[in-house]
Amino acid sequence: MKPIADIAKLVDIHEEDLELYGKYKAKLSPELWEKVKDRPDGKLVLVTAMNPNPAGAGKTLTTIGLSQSLNKLGKRAIAALREPSLGPCLGMKGGATGSGRAQILPADEINLHFTGDIHAITSAHNLLAAMIDNHIHHGNERRLNPKKIVWKRAMDMNDRALRNIVIGLGDGNGQTREDGFLITTASEIMAILCLSESLADLRDRLGKIIIGYDLDDKPVTPADIRAVDAMCVLLKDALKPNLVQTAEGTPVIVHGGPFANIAHGCSSVIGTRLGLKLADYVVTEAGFGADLGAEKFFNIKCRKAGLTPSAAVLVVTVRALKYNGGIPVAQLHEENLDALRAGFANVQRHVENLRSFGVPVVIALNSFHTDTEQEQSEVIALCQKLGADVALSRVWAEGSEGGIDLAEKVIQAAQSASSFTYLYEDQLPIREKIERIVTKLYRGAGVRFSKAALQTMRKAEEMGLSHFPVCMAKTPYSFSDQPDQLGAPSDFTIQVSEIRISQGAGFLVVLTGSLVTMPGLPKKPAAESVFLNEDGEVEGLA
């Protein structure tokens, strides 16, 4: 690792604009934005993927590797990534900082408390929750309906026992009512932080969160109970993007980490916009496969922030292809060209979808050691038949050297003049936005709405929020809402069970099926395998 001040110099950031957190992490000051904001933007490259297989696709890995390869080719490149959440790190998933020779550093610190952003969001979230119950306890001036509080509490931990709870038991302990905890990454504050353009914008959005309804069924906000300023105070440093480096010394902005179902699953707008002023290329990723991640990146993040993507990289793996071709996880290491061809229908649909946004697509075949040469050749041939650029990526084993072909193809793709377009315009009615996503991207036959969903839709219209984009919460494993319908299913109907209004984030969350916003720990959580070695260093996390 090089001192972060040296990394900053690579993109002309001077020490005065760095707030150091140790030698290898820094926050970028708001003054830096003021200095660079009038520069032209670099090119924005989205890394997305086919529907994920349980073993992972290598999207973060490819994002990091591609940024290293672009640098190797003499382009000034920055990767823009999400912050890992402690809950999954210590639960099922482990670290989220890439691996092999495409990692970001210092990995352990990024995976653990990092610069405290997520802790700050937890604090702001729970301050608001405490102020709500305190408001009711001390006379309830705003006439909040205790049965209609929708603002839960938050913790950055996987803790299923906190999903559904009863609070306020016992004399003097406030209103007894049902409640629950979200994992912090599912907090609307996380989505807000990631979509805010400035401190003023953050303040404005926080004030609009719907925390519940009053006895006249009118929405109540943090502004109504004087919580907004204290929340801003708690979040002021979390809003500043964090600078770290890849294993090869490429600058990386790691900032914000919203859930990819109940939220939009992209790193912060502030970080991405700043990156575009500092570099020729900003390589970023979005959560889950392209049906969710890329769709939300384009329709929510790019729309809200006025960003124009220059290219999209679709990460495919031989394993994910075979999984989508019907092979169970335990057999994914065995060569199976038929399954691979069958699974390719999934890739084809994602490519068509990405192209429908007017964005050039490059396919990255992320190499894995169990792949056979024949399998890899077959994937490349199938991609070429589709008329798509494709590159074999070996960034895990080879770092930047393994992504040169990919980087060259991305540079070429990003040269063409943009014809980027959203899937729907703001004015389209809410129902039609959802139907358009389902029929045009998922290729379903239609949408069935629950009564509750229709009611909330009407409420949102009455509140003048029908211009909001929709944020689909769907299983990532399938284009449909059934996780076992792999490949390229069609003729299905999407069931919308519920719609939630994220007025602060500025979107409507559309729930298909039930949504778990507080994960549980597995029987043997990752927490059981991490430890400090004799030198006091973390082992067993990544």
Q: 159 to 198, contacts with its own copies by CB under 8 A?
A: 159-170, 172-175, 178-179
Binding flag, residue 127, its own copies (CB under 8 A): yes
Q: Which is nearer to its own copies, 121 or 494 (CB)?
A: 121
Among 232, 337, 345, 515, binds its own copies (CB under 8 A): 232
Type of residue found at 6: D
Applying CB under 8 A, which part among 120-128, 208-216, 252-260, 367-375 lies near its own copies? 120-128
The mark string for 436-475 relative to its own copies (x by CB under 8 A, - otherwise) is ----------------------------------------
Q: Are 186 and 263 in contact (CB under 8 A)?
A: yes
Tokens standing for residue 170? 């016992």
Q: Which of 292, 234, 231, 267 is nearest to 85 (CA)?
A: 267
Query: Per this entry, what is the length of the chain?
Result: 542
Of 1, 54, 215, 233, the one binding its own copies by CB under 8 A: 233
Burial of 13 per CB tally in 10 Å (0-12, 13-18, 19+): buried
Stretch that binds its own copies, among 262-270, 297-305, 426-434, 514-522 (CB under 8 A): 514-522
3-state secondary structure of 500: strand
Q: Which of 19, 41, 204, 214 binds its own copies (CB under 8 A)?
A: 19
Hey, which bits of 161-203 come out as E strands?
A: 165-167, 177-179, 181-183
Q: Does 30 contact its own copies by CB under 8 A?
A: yes
Q: Which stretch binds its own copies (CB under 8 A): 231-239, 253-261, 412-420, 486-494?
A: 231-239
Quote the tokens at residue 498.
């519920």
Q: How far is CA 20 from the centre of its chain?
A: 26
Q: Which stretch binds its own copies (CB under 8 A): 63-71, 155-163, 380-388, 485-493?
A: 155-163
Report the run of H or E that residue 313 belongs to, with start and end. Answer: strand 309-316
**Single-letter residue type at 93:** K
Among 38, 40, 74, 138, binds its own copies (CB under 8 A): 138
Among 41, 204, 237, 401, binds its own copies (CB under 8 A): 237
Judged by beta carbon, residue 36 or residue 538, the one nearer its own copies is: 538
Supply the minimum distance, in Å, between the C-beta of residue 419 and its own copies: 39
133 binding its own copies? (CB under 8 A): yes
- Residues facing residue 447 across a β-bridge: 494
Number of C-beta neighbours around residue 306 at 10 A: 10
CB atoms within 10 A of CB 224: 18
CA–CA dist 133, 217 (Å, integer):
18
Within 8 A by CB and 6+ apart from 27, the residues are 18, 19, 21, 115, 237, 240, 241, 242, 243
Q: Other C-beta atoms within 10 Å of 298: how many?
A: 29
Nearer to its own copies by Cβ, of 208 and 433: the residue is 208
Of residues 74 and 172, the one with the C-beta less far from its own copies? 172
Return the number of other C-beta atoms located less than 10 Å from residue 479's C-beta.
28
Answer yes or no whether residue 498 interacts with its own copies by CB under 8 A. no
Cα separation of 463 and 457, whole Å?
A: 10
The least distance separating its own copies from the CB of residue 7, rounded to whole angstroms, comes to 16
Separation in Å, CA 308 to CA 244, 297, 359: 25, 11, 9
Q: Least distance from C-beta 153 to its own copies, angstroms?
A: 8
* Least spacing, CB of residue 440 vs its own copies, in Å: 35
Q: Does 523 bind its own copies (CB under 8 A)?
A: yes
- Residue 100 CB, nearest approach to its own copies (Å): 22
Evaluated on CA atoms 483, 488, 489, 495, the torsion sign reads: positive
Residue 110 CB, shortest distance to its own copies, in Å, is 13
Residue 163 beta carbon to its own copies: minimum distance, rounded to whole angstroms: 5
Q: Which residue lies nearer to its own copies by CB, 225 or 340?
A: 225
* Both tokens assigned to 374: 């024949």
Q: Which stretch binds its own copies (CB under 8 A): 35-43, 154-162, 374-382, 389-397?
A: 154-162
Based on the shown chain and the rule CB under 8 A, indicate whether residue 514 belongs to the binding site for its own copies.
Answer: no
Q: Name the minimum Å distance from CB 421 to its own copies.
A: 37
> Residue 254 interacts with its own copies (CB under 8 A)?
no
> Which of 309, 287, 288 has its CA nearest to residue 298?
309
Q: Which lies closer to its own copies via its Cβ, residue 158 or residue 246?
A: 158
Q: 36-65: which residues touch its own copies (CB under 8 A)?
A: none
Type of residue found at 281: Y
Structure tokens at 186: 């599912």
- The distance of closest approach from Cβ of residue 267 to its own copies in the complex, given in angstroms and rounded to an integer, is 21
Q: Which stretch binds its own copies (CB under 8 A): 59-67, 276-284, 453-461, 530-538?
A: 530-538
Out of 134, 377, 415, 421, the only residue in the binding site for its own copies (CB under 8 A) is: 134
Strand partners, 167: 177
- Residues 79-118 binding its own copies (CB under 8 A) are 86, 90, 112-113, 116
